[in-house]
Amino acid sequence: MCCAIADMIAMVFGTIIFLNFAIEEKVGWNTLFVNKMIPITILSWLFSVTYFQLYRVDVLFSLDEFFRNSWRAFFTQRVLWHGYIFIFQDDVLYFFGTKANLIQLSFLLSYFLLSRILFTLVIGKIKGWVFKQYTVAIWGFNKTSIELASHLESNSFFINFVGILNENSSDEYTNNEDFSLALCAGIDKASRDNINELYIVSKPDFISDLNDFFELGDKHCMRLKFVPDFSSISKKHFNSSHLNNFHVIKPRFEPLQNAYNRLAKRIFDLVFSILVIVFILSWLYPLLAIIIKKQSPGPVLFKQMRTGKKNQSFWCYKFRSMYVNNANEAQQAQKGDSRITPIGKFIRRTSLDEMPQFFNVLIGNMSVVGPRPHMIKHTSDYNDHINNFMVRHFVKPGITGLAQVSGLRGETKKVSDMKRRVTTDIEYVQRWSLIKDIKICFLTVIVTLKGDKNAF
């Protein structure tokens, strides 16, 4: 609560600072517009903190998530606040360069940085200030309970986590009856140890009737929470979620399954591709077209059917870099390939041959960043040798990708080369973020300028 009040005061005070300096600079804004700036500040900040649930305090509190949401809320409020000025004020370009805006932004950034440092110091002392702490423990010793214990321990700012109660036990249960007797004894012991909340981690086979255990927990005024242990079923890290009352297990977490994330990525793709087409391809296309046509007869663009999202094929466009011939199109380009034209060597080495794919991005069958699309024959061949190869097609293919900026570009001579690329592509699918896309774009420019030995 104190943090919420302090943040609101800081946002309002920042607007007051801005208005005072704006008056000194004699910015010609009408009085009605200026009088609404503080209410707009309050409303935009309330919207931001509500949307990101910044001040939600649960029994388990993640400091990292609080910091992330703090900056998300701050930048969202700034966008909304500047949007208000952009819509109702003609002097927006002058406004961005004013001393009033720079001082306000400096004040708010300094406040958020210092306040979060202070919050970190305070929250570390909270346990010592609480007279009677909320005590949490785990019953059941297995791989899942160890991972859960690590999570609880790292987020135990508002609780007293005592650990796994039976971690030293060597009992192995062969049937439901033995497990039920041991769990009932464990609940009784937890009650005597004044445990307020008990996580019970066990194999699903041993849980016959949860109602009996919940009633026993209620009798001892203890909250029970069951966590199924699937570690013996799957050796890999998987993701679980809930669909109403159904527990759903997935082999991986996919951020782009979220509609808001897909919308953000699509907006980024549209803005990026339109800027490239208008400011670069508008003059680069006719220039390269003249050179390509002069050096060898044939079309300017080379189009090839490639595998896209959901295993759907699409026409992928490139500037033609090879002589027109009847050779096998499925053959990958090799170092010193005689099929490559003189201009083709340059545009392939600098990745300029990929530029027409921004039209694919605009159409919607590709993205700026994503796994590179392969020829249909290669997709079929590698799918027979690499079990999780098709996972990379859960998202749109990209002009550039994590594999390309990680040194995994170019000809794949062995299946092991493709496996490394696929592993990196799947890592991108599981850890996508808009920031990661922007970072990959910057790294692509750097790699291109430095030169990639695998580009030929």
258-299 pLDDT, tens digit each: 898 999 999 999 999 999 999 999 999 999 999 999 988 889
Using CB atoms within 10 Å of the CB of residue 368, give its burial: 0 to 12 exposed, 13 to 18 middle, 19+ buried: buried
- Between 19-23, 34-38, 150-154, 410-414, the lowest mean confidence (pLDDT) is in 410-414
Q: Residue 4 is encoded by which pair of tokens?
A: 């919420």
What pLDDT was estimated at residue 277?
Answer: 95
**Paired strand residues for 314:** 306
Which residues touch 288 (CB under 8 Å, ≥6 apart)? 300, 319, 343, 347, 352
161 three-state secondary structure: strand
Instruction: Please report the pLDDT score of residue 274 as a whole number.
Output: 95
Fold entry, domain 132-233: Rossmann fold (3.40.50)
Helices (H), 124-174: 126-129, 143-154
- The pTM is what? 0.64
pLDDT of residue 456: 45
Where is mean pLDDT largest: 133-142, 245-254, 339-348, 358-367?
Answer: 358-367
Q: Can you point out the beta strands (E) in 244-312? A: 246-250, 301-307
Higher pLDDT, 7 or 96: 7
DSSP 22-88: HHHTT----HHHHHTHHHHHHHHHHHHHHHTTTT---SS--HHHHHHHHHHHHHHHHHHHHHHHHHH
- The pLDDT assigned to 394 comes to 93
The rounded mean pLDDT for the chain is 83
Instruction: Report the DSSP pairing between strands 160-164 and 135-139.
Output: parallel
Give residue 26's pLDDT. 59
Higher pLDDT among residues 245 and 3, named by residue: 3
Average pLDDT estimate for 210-230: 86
Residue ranges covered by each domain of the chain: 2-123, 132-233, 259-450
Is the separation of the CB atoms in 333 and 357 below 8 Å?
no
> Rounded CA gap, 375 and 364, in Å?
18
Give CA–CA dist 139/163, Å, rounded: 9
Q: DSSP labels for 177-222?
A: HHHHHHHHHHHHHHHHTT-SEEEEEE-GGG-S-HHHHHHHHHHTT-
pLDDT above 70 for 368: yes
The predicted model gives 360-369 an average pLDDT of 96
Q: Are 249 and 240 in contact (CB under 8 A)?
A: yes
**For the segment 332-351, what is each residue's pLDDT rounded down to a tens digit?**
555 556 778 888 888 888 88
On the question of pLDDT at 65 being above 60, the answer is: yes
